[in-house]
Chain A
Amino acid sequence: MRRLILIAIPYVWLLALFLIPFVIVVKISLSDTALARPPYFPQWDWSLGWAGIKDFFAELDFENFWFLTTDDLYWKAYLSSLRIALISTLMTLLVGFPIAYGMARAPEHWRPTLMMLVILPFWTSFLIRVYSWMGILSQNGLLNALLLGIGVIDEPLIILNTDTAVYIGIVYTYLPFMILPIYAALEKLDGSLLEAAEDLGCSRLSAFWLVTVPLSKQGVIAGCFLVFIPAIGEFVIPSLLGGSETLMIGKVLYEEFFSNRDWPVASAVAVILLLILIIPIVLFQRNQQKQAEAEG
């Protein structure tokens, strides 16, 4: 009995916090927009009884999904989000791996401090940290003042309100999510394996490629998913740091919901986004499972 309850808890959790909200979103995505409160039709009305429920389902259709295919804006936005998320995941990896490597190779008594430094930024609101990047990157901002001051450039660089600023924002924000799993993988790495590789004639570089990199693969994969999945739906970073031409699905979703007041189309956009995200999530899950089996 106790076991059953224990198993049931995560399922109830999943049902209440994921499945039910998702069903509601799907329901709205099949409705029509209306000037009402809330702004869509049909509404669920218990008082009409069985006939009401039948009418309710008769009103639902896939028109909004069809609409998404008629305008290339949505596909362009999905693709552009995918591109931005992929590139920034790669950049986060390039920055995060050396940091995680350095942390794992640091003397043991330093490591808790280094770990603390990686986590420390979370103590400040995410919004404020992105906001402060606006101050750093703007035309009269800190970065330009510094570069102009030491004479590297003559004209201020225009970084804020471009895609470059979005990449900087995403890499900065999600870096800890990349560092921590890689660090966890590298820390477990048995140093004697590297010694053995060198004894067997490997140079330090090839030992790194042949031993360290494959053994940290799981951490790298976990880190990449943890960055990629939130980055693709990112709204705050592109709207604060990006320019008007930065096209991301999060912004399109916001506009459907707030500017067009078209909750049904907004819900349809969200459902498709979720379907796109399910693929990497399933891959991630499978990867985790394989790893567990390999270790078990």
Chain B
Amino acid sequence: MSKTLIALTAALTVGTAAVAEEVHVYNWSDYIDEELLAKFEEETGIELVYDVFDSNELLETKMLAGGSGYDVVVPTGTFLQRQIMAGSFQPLDKSKLPNAGNLWDVIQKRTDVYDPNGEYSINYMWGTTGIGANVGKVKEALGDDAELNTLSLIFDPAKAEKLAGCGIHLLDAPTEVIPAALTYAGWEGGPDDKSDEALAKAEEVLSAVRPYIQKFHSSEYINALANGDICVALGWSGDVLQARDRAAEADNGVEVTYEVPSEGALMWFDQMAIPVDAPNPDAAHKFLNFILDAQNMAAASNYVYYANGNKASQEYLIEDVIGDTAIYPDDATLENTYTVTPFGPKEQRSLTRLWTKIKSGT
């Protein structure tokens, strides 16, 4: 018995010693070209363990609980800022990130709101929150001259009522939908106003169209748009474009478009950061530096159809990505975007409560 045990222990010790260096990356689902993962392993000899998540809340809970075991995570700007305040991340060692010079100042200026001077994070991808529409069905309901690039498709009760029959989905993310409702209403405090009056205004706008909204969900609209189950969704740029491509591939007669709303659109940023208790921060820096490489970053964008914060990568982007204003908006559209800041704990509670009230009527 004890002999076996000793043999087993010996085998285990040898086994541990032989295991290669590992880095654990936790990223959004469908958010990278998997060939890049193999390339990283080949270049560095570090074994890459790649896991995915599909909501900021899930990631945040892991970050706040601590001991997640991940070396690199990818929260969105507002979530990143709060997690930095909670002490979840370690400052980046810039000397280990020689490729950081590739970053795009236009994007960095905007992400400085969340993480001044990029002390804790680098931008991975960014996008806008806008209108995904089933062109045929919207025109059928509203007439051939219906505009598709407007928030009124969702927030104007007269239009929403006509579109309700074929289905409207909203993101189940109050931090995205409330600013959009305030933008539509032309609220003088701006889309990022968190006062009680602003929330009351947003509630008024949303309650008026609530009967016409089929579902609040943050990913179902991709399939629903692609299959022609719904006609309008407030969604994330790349996700709607994915629906567009799926519909085109399925050749099911459904034409999906993504439009940045003319009233103004929310711009968001997914940032790569290293948790304070990362088991292997050294390998994490190597991974960040690998992603910061112009060609690697371009490969990722060319694959997922999201814009990135890497200036140098732009010369390697395919025309379908860099030339598509739904992905890389022109300067005028960029001017018309806004960013939001995180909610404090008290504000967050009123927001979630308001959201539950809007969704369930309770």
Interface residues of A (CB under 8 A from B): 33, 35-39, 71-73, 76-77, 138-140, 161, 243-247, 252, 255, 257-262
Contacts and interface: CB of A to CB of B under 8 A. Distances in A.
B345 A35 contact: yes
Contact of B352 (A36, A245, A260): A260
Given A39-B86, A261-B348, A262-B345, A244 B63 contact: no
A169 B219 CA distance: 21
B325 interface: no
Interface in B46-82: 55, 57-58, 60-61, 63-66, 82
B362 interface: yes
Contacts of A35: 82, 85-86, 345
A161 B57 contact: no
A36 B229 CA distance: 43
Contact of B360 (A140, A161, A247): A247
Interface string B341-359: 0000100110011011001
Contacts of A252: 356
Nearest to A71: B353
A161 B215 contact: yes
B66 A76 contact: no
Nearest to B83: A37
Given A37-B88, A161-B214, 11 more contacts: A35-B82, A36-B87, A37-B64, A38-B65, A38-B66, A140-B228, A244-B215, A247-B360, A258-B55, A258-B60, A261-B60
Contacts of B228: 140
Contact of A257 (B61, B216, B229): B61
A71 B357 CA distance: 11
Contacts of B167: 139
- Interface residue tally of chain B, by bracket? 35 or more
Contact of A37 (B87, B174, B352, B360): B87
B229 A37 contact: no
A94 B85 CA distance: 54
Given A37-B86, A140-B229, A259-B57, A244 B65 contact: no
B64 to A, nearest CB: 5
Contact of B349 (A36, A258, A262): A262
Contacts of A77: 362
A261 B356 CA distance: 15
A72 B216 CA distance: 22
B196 to A, nearest CB: 16
Contact of A73 (B86, B229, B353): B353
Contacts of B296: none
Contact of B345 (A139, A258, A261): A261
A245 B360 contact: yes
Nearest to A32: B345
Interface in B222-258: 227-229
- Candidate in A77, A244, A262 with the most chain B CB atoms within 10 angstroms: A244
A38 B64 contact: yes
B361 interface: yes
A37 B63 contact: yes
Contacts of B355: 259
A262 B356 CA distance: 15
Given A71-B353, A244-B216, A255-B352, A33 B345 contact: yes
Contact of A260 (B87, B88, B348): B348
A247 B362 contact: yes
Contacts of B85: 35
16 contacts: A35-B85, A37-B86, A37-B276, A71-B353, A73-B353, A73-B356, A140-B228, A246-B360, A247-B362, A255-B352, A258-B58, A259-B57, A260-B345, A261-B345, A261-B348, A262-B349
Given A247-B362, A260-B352, A36 B86 contact: yes
B215 A39 contact: no
- Candidate in A39, A76, A138, A140 with the most chain B CB atoms within 10 angstroms: A39
B362 A39 contact: no
Contacts of A73: 353, 356, 362
A48 B6 CA distance: 41
A133 to B, nearest CB: 14
Nearest to A156: B229
A154 to B, nearest CB: 14
B220 to A, nearest CB: 9
A258 B61 contact: yes
B215 A243 contact: yes
Contacts of A262: 345, 349
Contacts of A37: 63-66, 86-88, 276
A260 B229 CA distance: 31
- Candidate in A72, A139, A140, A257 with the most chain B CB atoms within 10 angstroms: A139
A260 B82 CA distance: 12
A138 B229 contact: yes
A244 B353 contact: no
Contact of A261 (B64, B88, B361): B64
Contacts of A71: 353
A73 B349 CA distance: 13
Given A37-B86, A261-B64, A244 B360 contact: yes
Contacts of A255: 352, 356
B331 to A, nearest CB: 35
- Candidate in B60, B215, B349, B359 with the most chain A CB atoms within 10 angstroms: B349
A260 B344 CA distance: 10
Nearest to A72: B362
Nearest to B174: A259
Interface in B180-220: 213-216
Contact of B57 (A76, A243, A258): A258
Contacts of A161: 214-215
Nearest to B230: A139
Contacts of A72: 362
B57 A39 contact: no
Nearest to A36: B86
9 nearest A-B residue pairs (beta carbon) = A258-B57, A244-B359, A39-B64, A245-B360, A259-B352, A247-B360, A244-B216, A260-B352, A37-B66
